[in-house]
Amino acid sequence: MLFAGGINSLILPVRGNIEGFSSVSLGLLGTGWALGYVTGCVMTSSVVARVGHIRAFGVLCAIAAVSMLLSAIMITPWTWVILRGLCGFCFAGAAMIVESWLSERTDAGSRGRVFGVYTMVNLGATTAGYMVLTLGDASGFVFFALAAIFYCLALVPTALSNTSTPTPLVSVKLNLRALWRNSPVAVFAVFWVGVSNSAFGTLAAVYAQNVGLTLAAVALFTSIPILVGALMQMPVGALSDRMDRRKVLAGITVLALGADIAFIVLAPQSQMANYMLAALLGGSIFAMYPVIVAHANDHAEPGTSLQISGGLLLTFGIGSILGPTFAGLAMAEIGNRALFAVTSFSHVVIVLYTFWRISRRHAVAEEEKSDFQPISAGRTSNLPAAELQDEAVSPHDDGTRPATAKI
């Protein structure tokens, strides 16, 4: 499924650019995806409660496959935005089902290793989906069909499984006031990280095509930030465990801002220059989210980590809805480098607000900090649905009735 998702997330902006779609309509692909994803996070629990994990997963994979085939048949911007949103809904639900299943099937001692493997599968399969586009012609039907085939293959193992399914998922609601009281900087920063990451994740391929990179180079340009971002999470996490996480967040945001400014001022044309700046940007922006989650949990009351993490996920999703739209409009009006004007604005306001909050609130003592958890550093195709699952599979009441966490 993740392999299909990688193809899905890259073929649409690449093909759309070939078809002459405007930057605005291509940005709306990311907006549609994020809107569908957030809706899926909210509604999946009720679907699973009605029909169970296996049937729900199978239906979601089938609908995702249909959306890809329809995208190949109806090549119009607004149709693609709607179908992309539908696919985002399916991906959110399927990810929540898979991650809750993994969480329940593992004990506390092995959960870190299991989710470490899951994260690597996520990263490897998604990147492979990007890179497979280098093997053919993006203007044809093949990649749409290939993504649909792999979406269908994803439902085979669960459809044939006779194992017991997990306890029902937790439904999530957003309570911004309570979330803000817990950690203003986390709420503020995660919203703007959603804006910047979704803008770059959706339109990076369009930028790369517009500066003249080949399809193979476009695939590398979009893959390198994710790979570097994943590698950066452990050293960034270790550093944030030893000092004020807000200072770490500000520091990596400054690095991201440096990459933004370099893209704008230098206007790199060579492949290597673009790769290097993409690596610096990706290593920064995809390491921000787990630092923010860890900081918010440092201030959380006992037993509220699910509410905090789930609320941050939805706030991130709201930012992800807006980011591609802003960036698409900016690119249409100003030009290619306007993408990085949007990301740089996001990073500037994060830095300024974070330093202001540092002056207003003392850092958490090291012995009181929560554990840092690396989170898959995906593009808009991989919003961190696992944040809803940290406690969603714990027994509740009689073990059969779904719990509702009011975020």
What does each of the 407 residues of the chain score in pLDDT, given as a tens digit?
999 999 999 999 999 999 999 999 999 999 999 999 888 888 887 888 788 888 889 999 999 999 999 999 999 999 999 999 999 999 888 887 887 777 777 776 666 567 667 777 887 888 899 999 888 888 889 999 999 999 999 988 888 877 666 666 665 566 777 788 878 898 999 999 999 999 999 999 999 999 999 988 999 999 999 888 888 877 888 888 788 888 999 999 999 999 999 999 999 989 999 999 999 999 899 888 888 888 887 776 665 666 676 778 888 888 999 999 999 999 999 989 999 999 999 999 999 999 998 887 666 555 554 555 555 544 444 455 545 444 433 333 443 334 333 43
How far, in Å, CA of 117 to CA of 125, rounded?
Answer: 12
- Give the CA distances from residue 50 to residues 43, 199, 392, 396, in Å, rounded to whole numbers and listed in that order: 12, 35, 17, 18
Straight-line distance from the first to the last Cα atom of the chain, in angstroms, rounded to the nearest whole number: 29
Short-list 199, 200, 180, 181, CA closest to 189? 180
What's the Cα-to-Cα distance from 201 to each of 34, 156, 340, 382, rounded to whole Å?
11, 30, 12, 10
Q: Which tokens is 122 given?
A: 């996520």
pLDDT of residue 343: 96
Q: Note the pTM of the prediction, 2 decimals.
A: 0.81
Secondary structure of residue 322 in the 3-state scheme: helix
Vertex 194: Cα angle to 191 and 200 (nearest 5) = 145
Given this model, what pLDDT does residue 341 score? 95
How confident is the model over 92-144, as pLDDT tens digits? 888 878 877 777 777 766 665 676 677 778 878 888 999 998 888 888 899 99
How far does Cα 213 stand from its chain's mean position?
Answer: 25
Domain 2-391, second-level architecture: Up-down Bundle (1.20)
All structural domains of the chain with their residue ranges: 2-391
pLDDT of residue 403: 39
